[in-house]
Amino acid sequence: MSRQQRQTLDDLLRHGPLDLGGDVAEQRAVFHGMMTSLPLPPDVSTTAGKLGGVPVVTVETPANDPATVLLYLHGGAYAIGSAADAAGLAGDVARRTGARAVCVDYRLAPENPFPAAVDDTLAVYRALLDDGVPSSAIAFIGESAGGGLAVATLVAAKDAGLPQPSSAAVFSPWADLSVSGDSAVGKAAVDPALTPEGLRTRARDYLRDTDPATPYASPVFADLTGLAPLLIQVGSHEILLDDAVRLAARAAEHDVHVELQVWPQVPHVFQAFAAMLDEADAALRAAAAFTRAHWAATDDALGEGLPTSKESVVRQ
């Protein structure tokens, strides 16, 4: 892996225009400009629609198997970003997994505070199931706030009696909205993208008077028993490092199949920079392999008539 690649990315983010804790309207425009500055590859298509009454953008590549679905949740600290903004990274994951990505345009804070994002994501998941897509053919993918949201939605789905998807892979998840992990301070100097003050500002926008330790807001405090297999990827140069480590420990405590991958000296959601960073390409290949492996494992279990983790959750 190239030290020069990492340094170039660090400089790009450290001197970039995004201020996560700044004025919401301004930062939405900045973030949109950043995420759409490079055009999508010509073979990637996007289609706007609705599922469960919630706006979605479906991202497809020519090799996609229409039978498998990635339920994709974008980042942006619950206040910025959109399904369309996430199409680039979603398309990269879709290409590597061979599935179409359904990006959820969940409602944003401060206009739509907690639990709007969880409600919207759960509604889309429920609509996919109602449309006849088996839970075993759905995998969750989430980045940053979308990573925490993915795990929160798994918990909400369990509580609602819905089957779990085949797996979930989350990139740099924001899983503790109290911003209480030691890395919030210990990694602040090396994180080129996020600040604890910015995260706390956006947490207040999203939570209002809700306790940050509420499980659907901060899944590091949730009962994760019975959740789908979970892959967590994080960089060592980010203040959310402890969110990922603590989430993995919580999942392990509750007997969830969990894999934690800490990638040295890379920043928040480094997977988005696969075109310039070797670690990002390797991480996306690992996430795609994890996702495909759990689709295959579920198919094998169903073929043998064995209970899957999804079926077990429904029976609880």
User: What does the pLDDT look like over 214-253, one tens digit per residue?
Assistant: 999 999 999 999 999 999 999 999 999 999 999 999 999 9
* 107-143 burial: b if 16+ Cβ within 10 Å, else e: ebbeebbbbbbbbbbbbbbebbbeeebbbbbbbbbbb
Confidence at 307, pLDDT banded by 50, 70, 90? very low
Confidence at 298, pLDDT banded by 50, 70, 90? low
Q: Give residue-wise pLDDT tens across range 4-38.
A: 999 999 999 999 999 999 999 999 999 999 998 88
Compute the distance between CA of residue 74 and CA of residue 269 in angstroms, rounded to an integer. Answer: 11
Q: Average pLDDT, stretch 200-205?
A: 98
The question of whether 74 is a catalytic residue gets the answer no
Instruction: Collapse the DSSP code of 147 into the 3-class scheme (helix H, G, I; strand E, B; otherwise coil) and give the result.
Output: helix
pLDDT of residue 63: 86
Q: Helical H runs in 217-316?
A: 241-253, 278-303, 309-315
Q: Give residue-wise pLDDT tens across range 131-162.
A: 999 999 999 999 999 999 999 999 999 999 99
pLDDT of residue 54: 98
Q: Give residue-wise pLDDT tens across range 111-134.
A: 999 999 999 999 999 999 999 999
The question of whether 15 is a catalytic residue gets the answer no
Contact 104, 54 (CB under 8 A): yes
Compute the distance between CA of residue 282 and CA of residue 276 in angstroms, rounded to an integer. Answer: 12
The question of whether 268 is a catalytic residue gets the answer yes
Residue with tokens 């894999």: 259
**Of 268, 279, 294, 309, which residue is the catalytic one?**
268
274 is written with which tokens?
């696969």
**Of 136, 144, 178, 309, which residue is the catalytic one?**
144
pLDDT at 315 over 50: no
pLDDT at 309 over 70: no
- What DSSP designation does 182 have? T
Residue with tokens 């029976």: 315
**Of 136, 143, 218, 238, which residue is the catalytic one?**
238
300: β partners: none
Q: Model's pTM, two decimal places? A: 0.94
pLDDT of residue 52: 98
Q: Average pLDDT, stretch 181-192?
A: 97
